[in-house]
Structures are given as C-alpha cells and as structure tokens.
Amino acid sequence: MVSAIDELLQSKPGFYVQDGDAGVTVHLVAGQGNLARMRRLAVFRLGKAGIGLDLAQDAELLVSELVGNAVRACGDGVPLVVEVAMGSDGVQVRVHDPESGELPRRRGTGVGDRQAEGGRGLLLASALAPGWEVALTPVGKQVRCLLPHRPPQSLPQTRSTPGRANANCPTRQVNR
C-alpha cells in the first residue's frame, strides 16, 4: 500500500517531481489538481526541511498566486516548472513559464477593494517576499521570490502595511 507521502512525491504524467535535500522542483502541466498537489508538496517538503508552518504556508500561498498568474498569462494546461527550496536566507519560490512576452505587473487593486475579483497576487507577493523579480530566459520567464526567515512568533511588518511594502520594494526585471 502506498502512503500519502509516497504518493505526493511520486511522479505521474503531467507532474514530474525532483525531490532534493533543501527543496523540490516540479515540472507540471497547469491544472487545478496539479496546483493543489503542488501546494501540499511545498508545505510537506519545507516542513521536512525544518521550516516553520507559518513560513511554509506563506510559500504555499506564493506558489498558488504565481502559478495562477502563469495560467492567466499562458492558459490552462501550460507547462510550468515550480521550485521551492530552503536557503540560508529564507525560502526561495520560483515559477517558470514559457511566455516571455507578458511580464507580471501590479494592478491598481487595493487590499480593501472588495469589488475587485483579482489583482492582489503581486501585492501579496510584495508583502511576503519584498524584492521579487522576473528573469527572462531562453524559453520564457521565471518569477523569483525570497521569503526571508523570521522569528517563529512574530508576524512580518509588511503584513500590517502591505501598501507601504509595495511602494518601497519595486519590481525589477533581470535578463539572464
């Protein structure tokens, strides 16, 4: 009988898992089932690496937002590469998609705008991972975020003032 953990780590068509000591890389075909599995895998893998639940859940939220942005840019069924890894300075979340012509951009949607149906993902990324960046690659683009380590009992300053974090941390494009 296969355990839930073994099943989570098992590669399947449309979801190829490369598990490492510090994190996981997944080549996936974007779809609701694969996104849900990727979120669970990120939290599990970071927990196994010793990352606290708060930071692992922030990484899960970033994975969800960045994959959602890639699907909006490229369409459902797009091939993506999602990397989640622990580093000395925090948790790295990277999402690579094949669309280099459409770069992520912040919309004017505010946190308190209850009428808006979207537009908060990059504001959220700025609050959680100040200084996120986009790198153009030979086969598309990669959005890179770093969730800095923080003391286990404290909340990041950016959570209470996301507008200020957004204004102070401009996005930069990196060509590599």
In a domain, residue 70? The reply is: yes
pLDDT (tens digit per residue) in 67-84: 988 888 888 899 999 999
Residue 72 confidence (pLDDT): 84
Q: Hey, what are 8's tokens?
A: 């989570």
Q: d(Cα 140, Cα 150) in Å, to the nearest integer?
A: 32
In a domain, residue 7? The reply is: no
- Window from 20-29, 33-42, 126-135, 147-156 with minimum mean pLDDT: 147-156
In a domain, residue 5? The reply is: no
In a domain, residue 115? The reply is: no
In a domain, residue 41? The reply is: yes
Residue 165: CATH number of its domain:
3.30.565.10
Residue 113 confidence (pLDDT): 54
In a domain, residue 6? The reply is: no
Global confidence as pTM:
0.77
In a domain, residue 29? The reply is: yes
What mean pLDDT is predicted for residues 157-164?
41
Q: How many domains does the chain have?
A: 1
Residue 157 confidence (pLDDT): 47
In sequence order, the 6+-apart residues with CB closer than 8 A to the CB of 15 are 26, 27, 28, 29, 34, 37, 38
Q: What's the Rg (C-alpha) of the chain?
A: 16
Reported as a pLDDT band with limits 50, 70 and 90, residue 161 is very low
With 80 as the cut, is the pLDDT of residue 128 above it? yes
Percentage, residues of the chain above pLDDT 90: 41
pLDDT (tens digit per residue) in 11-48: 999 999 999 888 899 999 998 889 999 999 999 999 88
Domain coverage including residue 46 = 14-110+120-175
